[in-house]
Amino acid sequence: MDIKATIAAMTLEEKAGLLSGLDFWHTKPVPRLGVESCMVSDGPHGLRKQDDSADHVGINDAIKAVCFPAGCATAASFDRDVLTQIGQALGDACQHEGVSVVLGPAVNIKRSPLCGRNFEYFSEDPYLAGEAAVSLIEGVQSRNVGTSIKHFALNSQEHRRMSSDSRADERTLREIYLPAFEQAVKRAKPWTVMCSYNLVNGTYACQNHWLLTELLRGEWGFDGYVMSDWGAVDDRIACVAAGLDLEMPASGGENDRRIVQAVREGKLPESLVDLCCERILTINQRFLENRKPETPWDKQAQHQLARRLAAECMVLLKNEGELLPLRREAKVAVIGAFAKQPRYQGGGSSHINSAQVTSAWDVLAAWPGVTYAPGYHIQTDEPEEALLLEAEAAARAAEVAVVFAGLPDLYESEGYDRTHLSMPPAQEALIERVAKANPNTVVVLHNGSPIVMPWLPRVKAVLEAYLGGQAVGGAVVDVLYGEVNPSGRLPESFPLKLSDNPSYPWYGGEKNVVEYREGIFVGYRWYDQKEMPVLFPFGYGLSYTRFAYQNLRLSHTAIRDTDTLTVQVDVTNTGARYGKEVVQLYVADRESTVIRPVRELKGFEKVALAPGETKTVAFTLDSRAFAYWNEALHDWHVETGAFGIQIGRSSRDIALEADVTVTGTTVVPEPVTLNSIFMDLLAVPKYAQAMQPLIDLMQQAFSGHSVDADVETAVSPEMMQAMIAYTPLRSLLSFGNGQVRYDDLVALVDQLNRLP
């Protein structure tokens, strides 16, 4: 298709019609010009293809598909290949079913553990979220199927999600909430972007020109089309002007008519409508020209893949006395309704009509010596004494009790936020009673976001399975019995209590205003800065073997910010089992003049090692690894100084570190004014000589008389130095004993500003 010629042949009504959906899931065709309709579909972790009577919140059934681990779990893998394989499987399913774009991944930052949609998001850390997004997008699009990275941007709560105004300063946006989108757009080139429901700093995302045109297209180079979230459009004319191409779903023709009217009245350039059409048709043609309906979709093979990948995502949180892995011949009591009916996915638009579901009990039921007790009702919060007594009896009769617990569907879902971090009282009571009956108690958790664990000291082992997809039961058994050595790491901090979370005082906002007052201190950046105890830190996870780090080496001890730094470290499996270790690289700014976190994740690699084996893990760091967003420059900026290169097992467990000196090559323009203080001026060497007479004058003014160690004085040398440091130039008129004139100060300011 000659897209420009096709658009030129369209009527204005046809062009306007292309800018909204045909129905819930399809773009509009123009049959007389050979323009075909294309289908988009939900499915960040599985294909949720519905028919034309479908909805977007998961009420009606979709086709049978394979449900892979959700975003909360896949991020815990810290394994790019896991995300790529899921993407490839999704792409195959889309080709088989004729779906042009899968709506995902969702990369919004986990600002608070309360967000109802956190199960779908990757991490509290923008680097990890970005790496996960890049890998998933590359996997899907390798099959010539598009992705729609979402929700752009600042969508970190469900409360008032269609009307809330997310307000964040420039630095917070650039350092926390935009980098995952930026990396995905620049590196993986998603075919489409979905804007969020909320306003961003006072303007709806769908009609935010800075967000959709200046930043996304102008700065980042995005060349696909932007679609709305379902029902997100406010002013359709403003949306077209801002860069929103496709409104979803259909508007019944109402907004199409408004676009036509606006063009004819001269309120909207027809060239912008043409541009939207061109973007939509370009992406649609990319799929249509590469359609492969003959692509096989082997759901059984994908089920086995889902089981293998789910095991890679699980995080061993506790293993006292090396209770795990379990012996095959051990007498085990399996307790908890989730053992038979696992919570393996979230609710709402990502809900998959799973082709099959494997529970842990499906695998263990035939094993000798394994018994089952339900323990609780999934739909009931309060404990039932008869079920507790049955569970206690089963636990006493076994060598090991394994309790399956977590969060039911109603506790976390699209559409609303959580109000607390607790599991249902029935499940907490069950764990307490079972642990009292059997000291060898293991807890397996099925949840999409952090919980509190008041029972933790009384159990010996905890396995975080997250929402592991339809094959999660088999994967849990594989990990519990040592067929797979757990290698997942937490992609988010687990706080001791909700009020420890940095967004706690203002999360949810006041009416429609949501202020991101914690700024850049999200998740571990806050907890580590505060040296605050946490239940489990970011990046944490145990293994059935042990790993040693040694021989950290940097390619240079000093670089410019235009150079790259290579970091290498040797990792050895010092235990007796094969396993995988996640090597995490953090960067710490040792001497920043701006407020920065203690450390930030800037690299990770998962390495597989046999017992006794050593491998070298390498990282390459560029200037962004050392930079912060400078609001004066409106750009990334590296300050000259020392930076710590830290190799850790988590943000709280740094095994090795070494320093590199980085020289910044960008000069920050800080014009001298009469309000500039001596401390800031004297930090610039070129100002020192010109200012020496003023320094002498200030010392005389603040001294009062000579300072003698044997004579009591009101002004100590330290006090005098501090007072001078904080004094602005204009104060010399007050403290200069008449020796300084205003015109002299103005001339000095001019002189300093003209120094090369």
C-beta separation of 119 from 449 below 8 A = yes
pLDDT at 703: 65
Whether 61 maps to a domain, the answer reads yes
Q: Is the dihedral of CA 423, 495, 516, 585 positive or negative?
A: negative
3-state helix, strand, coil in the chain (%, to 5): 35, 20, 45
Do 610 and 520 belong together in one domain?
no
Domain final position from 288, 322, 339? 288
pLDDT at 54: 54
End-to-end CA distance of the chain: 58
Whether 363 maps to a domain, the answer reads yes
Do 581 and 460 belong together in one domain?
no
Find the CATH number of the domain harbouring 47: 3.20.20.300
- Strands of the 332-335 sheet, one edge to the other: 315-319, 461-464, 441-446, 400-406, 332-335, 370-373
What token pair was written down for 579? 């396993």
Find the angle CA(417)-CA(419)-CA(425) to the nearest 5 degrees.
120
Do 267 and 343 belong together in one domain?
no
Number of Cβ within a 10 Å radius of residue 59: 10
Helical ranges in 346-424 per DSSP H: 360-364, 385-396
Could you tell me the residue range of the domain that residue 732 belongs to?
678-754
Residue at token pair 């990334």? 636
Number of Cβ within a 10 Å radius of residue 332: 25
User: HSE-up of 5 (CA within 13 Å, CB side)?
Assistant: 4
| CA–CA dist 482, 478 (Å, integer) | 6
Helical ranges in 142-226 per DSSP H: 170-172, 179-183, 209
Whether 671 maps to a domain, the answer reads no
| CA–CA dist 185, 663 (Å, integer) | 29
Do 336 and 266 belong together in one domain?
no
Point out the residues of the chain with pLDDT beneath 70: 51-60, 701-715
Whether 673 maps to a domain, the answer reads no
Phi, psi of 97 (to 5 degrees): -100, 0
C-beta separation of 720 from 701 below 8 A = no
pLDDT at 700: 74
To which H or E segment does residue 90 belong? helix 80-97
Give the total number of structural domains in the chain: 4
What token pair was written down for 537? 């830190």
Do 687 and 656 belong together in one domain?
no
Helical ranges in 365-424 per DSSP H: 385-396
Whether 670 maps to a domain, the answer reads no
Whether 296 maps to a domain, the answer reads no
Do 242 and 169 belong together in one domain?
yes
* Active-site residue identified among 229, 245, 417, 589: 229
pLDDT at 691: 79
pLDDT at 528: 98
Q: Is 36 helix (H, G, I), strand (E, B) or coil?
A: coil
Helical ranges in 554-706 per DSSP H: 678-682, 685-703
Q: What is the tens place of the pLDDT at every residue in 82-95?
A: 999 999 999 999 99
C-beta separation of 611 from 545 below 8 A = yes
pLDDT at 51: 66
Do 396 and 477 belong together in one domain?
yes
Do 716 and 641 belong together in one domain?
no
Residue 26 vs residues 100, 406, 717: alpha-carbon distances, Å: 10, 37, 76
Whether 708 maps to a domain, the answer reads yes
pLDDT at 705: 45
Domain final position from 288, 319, 339? 288
Find the CATH number of the domain harbouring 427: 3.40.50.1700
Find the CATH number of the domain harbouring 569: 2.60.40.10
Do 746 and 695 belong together in one domain?
yes
Do 328 and 361 belong together in one domain?
yes
Do 217 and 351 belong together in one domain?
no
Do 686 and 649 belong together in one domain?
no
Q: Known catalytic residue: 229?
A: yes
Domain final position from 473, 503, 529? 529
Whether 112 maps to a domain, the answer reads yes
